[in-house]
Chains A and B, each alone.
Chain A
Amino acid sequence: MKKTVLRKPKGFIDVYKYKPGAEKDRTHYCPGCGHGILHKLIAEALEDLDLVDETILISPVGCSVFAYYYFDTGNFQAAHGRAPAVATAASRANPDKVVISYQGDGDLAAIGGNNILQAANRGENIAVFFVNNAIYGMTGGQMAPTTLEGQVTTTTPYGRNVDTDGYPIKMCEVLSQLTAPTYVERVSLHDAPHIRKARNAVRKALQNAKERKGFQFIEVLSSCPSGWKMDPVKSMEWIKEKMLPLYPLGVYRDKGEDAKITKRPVPVMEPAAVWEKLGISAEKDVDFPRGDVADEYKKMSIRVAGFGGQGIMVTGQALASVALEYGYNVSWLPSYGPEMRGGTANCSVNIQDGTIGAAEAVKPSMLLAMNRPSLEKFEGSVMPGGTLLYNSTLIDIKPERTDIKVFAVPITGIADDELGNIRVQSLVNIGAYAAITGMFRVEDVITLLPKLFKGRKQAIIDLNAKAVKAGFNYVKDNF
């Protein structure tokens, strides 16, 4: 239908309700900012191509971070430079939607340089609008990869020196070297005729996107009057005089009718479907009936802490693995340094019937401290009324807390002296845990040992069975 009036396109939200503050009827952009012009071209095309409700726009970091204030589309706000990666995910998961990645030159050509290169190389079904104003605008006019040779910015007060700062990166030229992109064009917003050419390019890119014709890249030479410290009309002249010679306008790639419609496998997102794909039954597989567990031990958040090499991680994994067989929901979250042995290590385990939120045991209901630094570090974090199980062989101080239950068990001693192998401390822990909480039965744990120690010699499994019993009996006999 032929337009009879040119007014705010329907691709924009009517009242910018997501914009904080009182001024919900105008953008946050500076007077004369090129973003506003490009926003209008995109919003108009979205309306005219009937794409407003079919589009997911990825906003970047930069002045256009707030694009979601204005566009009446779906939105993700991506980390700096990562819009093409987020757009890839959005596009793959929603193959019937149009996905736009809107980015500035600092975002796209600097920190996100490799992101855009790889997304372009994969020919993702996304339309990228790349606003090139030759500086970092939002942060105050610093040099960007696209800054011109000799251009004065706040970080190049004597002008960009190509010997120290390199040459301006020409993204259209770079991306058009790749095989996959469908459409690559550079346009400019410096005067009305060129804005109309930009309008056509925007519409073509979005039409291609609507037809799922792969990767669309429109570079838009744009003004930043505030960052350039010029009035808006002078800024437009500066684009014409300075930017155009370096950044030639035109179509760098247009596959036209040869553009391939790419259909990709849609990632499986539904939990039930994921379980099926992994060959896991959605039904809970309960091997052991539960015994009587006191209320205070029905929802466990456990921190296991000690030296690396003390079996901290194995203890945590074993707690979670055994609890799983009783039909609990479990999580195990390790935290350790780069060392394989020595250093400090701790892990968090959650065991409960409800859905587990945070995996880290920030305020554990039980602390299992295997050495003194761990006791000192985590004792204060135990929730009031909680439980402390500590390795009295190696910890020669007494806990300070009086509002928690304390079990001092010579775990290292039991493993080393009684069983003759210091490496079975983990299963001594499990035995002690079973005795304290009543959550596990010793014979159940022993039944599981071949599974937990898959591929190990029978002697190792037998020794660990002894360790479980020893830990269990020590607690039963002494507390």
Chain B
Amino acid sequence: MFADYSLAELGSIFVMQGFAGLILFSVFVLMALGLAIIFGQMGVINMAHGEFMILGAYVTYFTSQFFLNYLPGLFGAYFFLAMILAFFAAGALGMAVEWLMIRRLYKRPLDTLLATWGLSLILQQLYRSVFGPREVGVELPSWMMGSISVTDTIEVQINGLFVMGLTIVITVAVALLMYKSAWGKQVRAVVQNRVMAGAVGIDTEKVDRYTFGLGCGIAGVAGSAFTMIGSTGPTSGQLYIVDTFLVVVFGGAQSLLGTIASAFTISQAQSTMEFFLSGSMAKVLTLLGVVIILMLRPQGLFVIKVRR
């Protein structure tokens, strides 16, 4: 299959596809980060994660509309406000859901799966009724449009670069929060031994609620970033949920590093294959590869050893 292309062309193809893969990677990482916190740290299957992401995307859309209509002068900066709003909107919804539903189900992970699926159906229909069934896209500020030519054949889009930069910032922030802050220490303590954590005075219920909220909030930010590269509809979230779960499981559920590594592997494999095969076959092969590897190595790529 490579015979039709010259060497230089092949190089460009790999770089361009690699770049497309990096954008996919950023979306995966942003979505998977929230999921890794919720699933990996709390053991809760949140099937509505995609809908939290879409909530963030809608918040971003409405913020951009607001700026467009009332503050056109500041339009270039709307995204930063939108991101913060998206974080708090999705996080608040997440905390409400945890309080109403999830906390009754911690001992029944399969049932959380069903309940959150129900939640995702309700949210989808809610978005459809409130925001309409059509997909909406935000208008990018002018500084985010266009692309940079690296060589004659290689171009990179600025919005893609921006999303990648954002991903790095958020990943670092989450890592710092989980591994360097007092709160992160509490979360990890609760994960490793809930009873003991409670015994030393950690309010485990509160930690649970904020952890779930944080995971959903990050999903909201992911949705915000998602608007930079794609349009948003009521069911967009569902398209990514299976991939994201595979990313998290493939990486080893409790390891943030594993999540990033697996997101990288999956997205690069998919986007490189997409060029040579049809999109659907690339996806089938990627997912199938992941499933087969998971069958051979169920614990995922990276494992944290915890004495139970």
Q: Do A and B bind each other?
A: no
